[in-house]
Structure 1
């Protein structure tokens, strides 16, 4: 069948919905790189030239990409690497090592990962090195070409760069910057971080070996651009098999974006985070509600998805507590009100709970002290309360000072939604004095 006939063909609605969900999930989850990064052209050019000098001319460099989460640091680096690797010479020679401060939590783990990514496990074998610097020098020496005259250029990407500054003596950073400065081997060190004060974290000897190049990214996105991005992300391209369905879908997306209630929801998301990943999560939740009976995204879907995104997880956790645990939380709330947020202990909470029992004279809420202790410990495990200091052997558990990690509004909101909450407990929570 010709392409023209395929486009003119009308597929069953169920099949169209399946294809829409496949296409949009691929787009929203994989976050495809743009052909040209918008708004960061100067930064793109600067970083590309810097890495090209390492990859082609063997010049060592170091640079930090600094910006808030969602500003496009990783996207910028990926776009630069994609453009850089289009050159055949670079594609053959450039080696890449990607480290993350959340994963490589100390220098030993980082060195092991560097060895693995450079495929030098067999070369290192069971060799014993006197220091980290010796091990690093051996790895870079092993990368030299057969004529021993030149090394392959290596790009080190350090994501969550500020976390590497917390490693003991900053040995990894010192050695990487030292190699890049002393021209022992052609390497480029690119750090990605959210912290503007990252240089203050570096030791003097590390700082002196860093080039002090920084590329700053700040989101200049406006709300109309954000709305347009939502429309583009949800729209189908012209190559969709059923042309008629694609036109109807795209028309419904345009109508959706112009809806006042939808604009208000998106404005709230835009104000809280300009990160495209959070927007993609919102749109993914909307997409899950599309079905054969409802083959388009409606404003109500976006409102529900927004409610889920902004759901208060701690308030939701209260819905799963037992009546006893809920009573202890209310007792803590009253203690917070009376003592203006000062820490409390289990004994104080128990006394507050007993006052409530004496007023109600209700045997239904009588619990043995060990049961109350267990409920109190469960609240600590859920991180609804936390100790003021670390656990001390000298302090009995009943007298260890705690703080409540919930505020008044979260507790009251959870009580309204708590399934079949007894009336007297609700009244106790709402009373000004216990």
Structure 2
């Protein structure tokens, strides 16, 4: 009797959804997803060639990768490092973490695993210590020395270190051909060269790699498809096929296309796209196993929520009244700054007009509410003013516009009718 072929293994829908969430979330949250490189092929090739010359030929190099935040500097660097198959040592430094040269040197020692070599040695200078560390890595002549790649994120912050000693010595080692060293900096500042001292500039190679987000909307859609597609190795092949075919149809949907186009027009930042797709993916569950257009619309709505307008929803009625008083003062005086006393007087006019004891607060209570608005950064003091000025007369600026206040009032829970009418009434 011949054996029948076992039917293709199907997983319960709950397990499929768990696998989808695990795989796609990891892909969206990791820095360097191995997807399509859109518009940066030339920069990628340049960086790979630069690093390969250091690794294979022992040629020391230095370069800066410059572009706005979220444009793919880290992704470009991670991609390039993946293509370097040879054995290398990588030292990752970040200007936000290594706030001075002493901390940076300690981190370099830790990442190169040379704590036992340094021990309790006393060095005369930073340069001597760094030279000793690099000398300790040598296993013979220059050709057989282990190449070291220094990666400096937030590079511009290192320029604020005292005397720029770290940058000077790294570039000096790279220029002097003592050991195969590559120094790659990542920064958002176009004026970075103006921050460097003359002696540091003279040792830098002046190689600059600029990322300009030169991809098209079609490329943007391809990246979106690439990020949300399930890979061939998914445990349930039939579910994977259904997911990918549904995704293909979905991305051709006019509503989804409009959402992506709006996102593309507002920002080509890939992290913004990842956040949008992540919000849409969070809506997938057992009763809703596939993405649809409504998921993208809701994700876009959540992305465009105004955080300050949301803060207003949690204010007390008194605090909301003070915000409305400030709004009136801004309208009357064409955006000129105000002080607490002016806001208090405006609020008292409202209380007297309505003759409601419910809004009759003592002045210290009103001042406390005013200070709370400042703590939440809804108002801020004007710059350049003397701190000796009494707080009741300190000039302030409202950090909200009329549309934000109006939107917040519409959604404010149990907003008194008097307050709502006051906010919308024309000024006399």
Q: Is the 8 A contact 2:173 2:179 kept in 1?
A: yes
Classify 1:107/1:341 alpha carbon distance in 2 versus 1 (closer, same or farther; 3 Å).
farther
1: CA distance, partners of 2:115 / 2:291: 52
Q: Specify the alignment match of 1:309 in structure 2.
A: 303
Q: In the alignment, is residue 357 of structure 1 matched against residue 351 of structure 2? A: yes
Unaligned runs of 5+ in 1: none
The answer to whether residue 315 in structure 2 is matched with residue 318 in structure 1 is: no
Aligned counterpart, 2:12: 12
Deviation at 1:138, TM superposition (A): 3.1
Unmatched runs of 5 consecutive residues or more in structure 2: none
Distance 1:96 1:400 in 2: 52
Distance 2:99 2:183 in 1: 18
Could you tell me how far apart the structure 1 residues matched to 2:361 and 2:233 are?
Answer: 67
Residue 169 of structure 2: aligned partner: 175
> Residue 60 of structure 1 aligns with which residue?
60
Give the superposition deviation at 1:376.
1.5
**Aligned partner of 1:418 among 389, 412, 419:** 412
* 210 and 99 in structure 1: CA distance in 2 versus 1, 3 angstrom threshold: same
**Deviation digits for residues 106-138 of structure 1 (CA, Å, limit 9, x no counterpart):** 223222222221223333344444433333233
Contact in 2 for aligned 1:141/1:151 (Cα 8 Å): no
Within 2, Cα distance between the matches of 1:360 and 1:35? 63
Structure-2 change in CA distance of 1:49 and 1:201 (3 Å) = same
State the Cα distance separating 1:381 from its structure 2 match. 1.3
1:113 aligns with 2:103: no
Which piece of structure 1 moves more, 232-241 or 362-371? 232-241
For 1:337 and 1:385, the matched residues in 2 are separated by 16
Residue in structure 1 matching 2:138, options 121, 144, 150: 144
Q: 1:342 aligns with which of 331, 336, 345?
A: 336
In structure 1, what is the equivalent of residue 231 of structure 2? 237
User: Residues 187 and 148 of structure 1: is their aligned pair in 2 closer, same or farther, counting only changes over 3 Å?
Assistant: closer
How much does 1:292 deviate? 1.9
Aligned pairs (5 A) from 1:367-406: 367-389=361-383, 392-406=386-400
Counterpart position of 1:188: 182
Contact 2:66 2:210 in 1 (8 A): yes
What is the aligned counterpart of 2:326 among 328, 332, 350? 332
Superposed CA RMSD in Å reads 2.5
Which of 96, 107, 121 is 1:102 aligned to?
A: 96
Q: Determine the structure 2 residue equivalent to 1:76.
A: 76
Taking the aligned partners of 1:176 and 1:414, their CA distance within structure 2 comes to 53
- Structure 1 runs of 4+ aligned residues shifted over 6 Å read 146-150
SS of structure 1 residue aligned to 2:83: helix
SS at match of 1:10: coil
Residue 341 of structure 1: how far off its partner (Å): 1.7
Classify 1:10/1:188 alpha carbon distance in 2 versus 1 (closer, same or farther; 3 Å).
Answer: closer
CA distance in structure 2 between the partners assigned to 1:217 and 1:179 by the alignment = 27
Q: Do the aligned residues in 2 keep the contact of 1:24 with 1:234 (CA within 8 Å)?
A: yes
Residue correspondences, number = 425
Distance 1:10 1:378, change over 3 A: same
Higher deviation after alignment, 258-267 or 314-323: 258-267
Number of the residue aligned with 2:49: 49
Q: Deviations over 1:12-52 (max 9, x none)?
A: 32222222222222222225542774543332332222222
Residues 247, 291 of structure 2: 8 Å contact kept: yes
Q: Which moved more, 1:199-208 or 1:413-422?
A: 199-208
- Confirm whether residue 297 of structure 1 aligns to residue 291 of structure 2: yes
Change (3 A) 1:62 1:338: same
Q: TM-score, normalised by structure 1?
A: 0.90
Counterpart of 2:27?
Answer: 27
Q: Does the 8 A contact of 2:338 with 2:396 survive in 1? A: yes
Maintained 8 Å contact 1:65/1:214: yes
* Residue 348 of structure 1: how far off its partner (Å): 1.5
**8 A contact 1:389–1:401 mirrored in 2:** no
- The answer (yes or no) to whether the contact 1:37–1:79 under 8 Å persists in 2 is no
Deviations 1:356-402 (A, max 9, x none): 11111111111122212221221111111112137854222212221
Q: TM-score, normalised by structure 2?
A: 0.91
8 Å contact 2:330–2:336 — kept in the other structure?
Answer: yes
Distance in 2 (CA, whole Å) between partners of 1:241 and 1:5 is 16
Q: Secondary structure at the match of 2:286?
A: coil
Report the more deviating stretch, 105-114 or 188-197: 105-114
2:263 corresponds to 1:286: no
Q: C-alpha deviations, 1:53-96, integer Å up to 9, x for none? A: 22233322111112223332222211221111x23xxx1xx221
- Check 1:392–1:131 CA distance in 2 against 1; reply closer, same or farther (3 A cut): farther
